[in-house]
Structure 1
Amino acid sequence: MKRVALLILSTLATAVTMLTSCTPDTGKSHDDNSQAGSEAQQASRQEVTTPGTPKADTLTGVAIGGAHSSIELQDAHGGEHEFSYPDIDPSKVDTWVEGDTMVVTYIHNSDPEVGDSVLSLRQSNRAKADEY
């Protein structure tokens, strides 16, 4: 009986050691993960200590397309810009149709997968906004 208990105990100890020493990132040693964690901590500290907030930009352009919660604008230089605003407060979005001149206020995001954060989407002509 003692031998069975000792065998079970040693098997459990081996399993625990193997489970805690393995890392989910294949090809990385424990030291690589520690260094990556340290770099992430430093980056988050830099974000916290960075003074100020991002500056909001505005773009005025003619609506040339879009769908539910998105718009594509053409600026005065012919450049096309696409914005999505699925989570914005509806009171900050004016109704629009193609051909309307719109003003988008947004915060630029350098990650193209995420896109810019739209703060508001307004008609440049307030009288036209009231028509809708």
Structure 2
Amino acid sequence: MSGEVGFSEWHPWSDRGELPGKHLPGVYFIARSKHKPDTHRNCDATIYIGETTGQSLADRLRQFNVSAFSERAGHSGGNTFRLTLLETTPAEHIWVSTCPVSMGMPYTTAYIKHLERKLLWEYVCTWGRYPACNHS
């Protein structure tokens, strides 16, 4: 097993196509804030913590975008965003940070699943709820 993992800097939603490692699977944060968030973990601006193992981060973020800003299904977090936050959240207030993972199989999938659940657990322990666009 080899590979290095870590979250990218926060990027404006409009720049999600320029994220490092976007061609890999991984874990991602989506936040809602007028200004670039200054932290990743336990950030109260976080509205979604997600993962993808069977497709790239770029593909999964595109699915979120389609579901969030149109009537098309495909991403439950994007659907929730559209139904609950879209009217009060301009696109320029959305931020994304990704953690691409490439460790070889079966390590990549296992680590991604573990990391997403760990981050959700930490968020729930801090705020007493799931992020606004995550479901239990």
TM-score surpassing 0.5?
no
Structure 1-normalised TM-score?
A: 0.25
Which one has a larger percent strand, Structure 1 or Structure 2? 1
